[in-house]
Chain A
Amino acid sequence: MHEKKTEKKPSSQVSPYSAVGIVAAQSLGEPGTQMTMRTFHYAGVAEHVPTGLPRLIELVDSKKEPKKSVVEVYLKKSLASKESEAQDVAFDMESVLLSEVALVQEDLAGKKIVITLKEGEAKLLGVKMDMVKEAVKKTVGAHKVEARGNRMHVTLGVGIAPKAKTKKQKEKEAAEGPAAPTPLKELRKLTMKVGKSLVKGVAGIKRSVVLKGDGEYFIRASGFNIKDIVKIEKVDGSRIYTNSVIEIEKTFGIEAARNALIREISSVMELQNLNVDKRHIMLLADAMTADGKVKSIGRHGLSGEKAGVMGRAAFEETIKHLVNAAITAEDDNLVGVTENIIVGQTIPIGTGRIKLGMKVRK
């Protein structure tokens, strides 16, 4: 009944002028309607980690920081099988702020800050007095610090060099005489700062949990700070993972960010049991990272920098684009799809790119 086709087998190569961008956008956008909005739960580390559509939107927006960032840290191969080592590293990583282990009080009359160590909490979190002392010294800078047992006094204004004054202040001073210092305000500011000073651990890392996977123990923690985590001796710096694309871009560069984007988008799709060809995801990631830095989809990123004035005006912020184009006498060279539709011409994509002429017999 069926005869095998004798004609040339269709090549699986893409044809020139294929509208691969549109197909990629559709392939990623169309399943959006089928995605669930359920959030994901990393037990003990982060709750309500977005998955599905909200996560996908977060990725294409390439926000500064994901809503719930998570970092996975692996130990050096030789230590990886020991749970206790992993526990140690996890414990070392968790950041502890001064206000968590000590009472920070202001002595308004004495213009002092009184810091009292809360022994119970400190012991539980592995904080010792000298760690506190060091942390406080680091934050207060040149102010005078005295330590007596579990107590510390930071006295304001003793031994601080006056801040370099700006030109304006100098002018003002010349006119009105030196401005009266407001020590109480300074005191309050410093108290807040002291309370937030890092006593122990890696800045930004909050909760961590040791997990077992693939024959070794690894640590999953909320937050991210790859630069400082790598400094921990037992950590294998070559196997660290975070779901923050921006953090990856900052520490490892644009190529790594591209790979992270592909990986993250793929995992969103997989988790929803949606099948999308890798090539579409790659194209999106490549378009977002082509200029050397991660750019978002939308008016502040790729769409806002498109070639044609009319294309940009048709998307968002119509008036702004038209006005700016007018004062610089910008040309729209009609290179995009939107622009050509607006002027009523064939689009420069697909069969629209083929120019075919025929001589008419006279």
Chain B
Amino acid sequence: MDLAYFHLIDRIIDLDIDAKTIVVEAQVPQHSTIFEGHFPGYPLMPGVLLIEAMAQTSGWLLIALMNFERMPFLGAVKEAKMRVFVTPGELLKIEASVLHEGSGFAITKAKVSVDGKPRCNATITFGHVPFPNADLRGHMETMAKRIGYPEQAMPHD
């Protein structure tokens, strides 16, 4: 994770286009100014950032399903449950699957676990639109390569 840049996903472990599922890993940093305030003497990964990590995981899945032609944006978070604290240095496994693909929107279910034990989960709604500009699409493609997008999930005609 690079919290300063809001890059919460480190690498893709599995992306299954047919099953519409994704698994990623994300290492919570050992040190961050965020932990100085949240909380002093008792550092915890903020729940909002865990939700964002689940949203980013879902987003990478949706981008692959839409062949890098559309960009999902967070619309709604439901049934978000922070079950167990996440602390600095922990390695998160984040999984997401598609619950529904509508016209211009999609709903995913996502969960975070550590060593096989659930930490949090949520149902997330995204609106999606054609990439608003080439810069953003290019940036997302670069990011995709950096986090290990499988070749078959990269944009294709």
Query: Are A and B bound to each other?
Result: no
Q: B: which residues have CB within 8 A of A? A: none
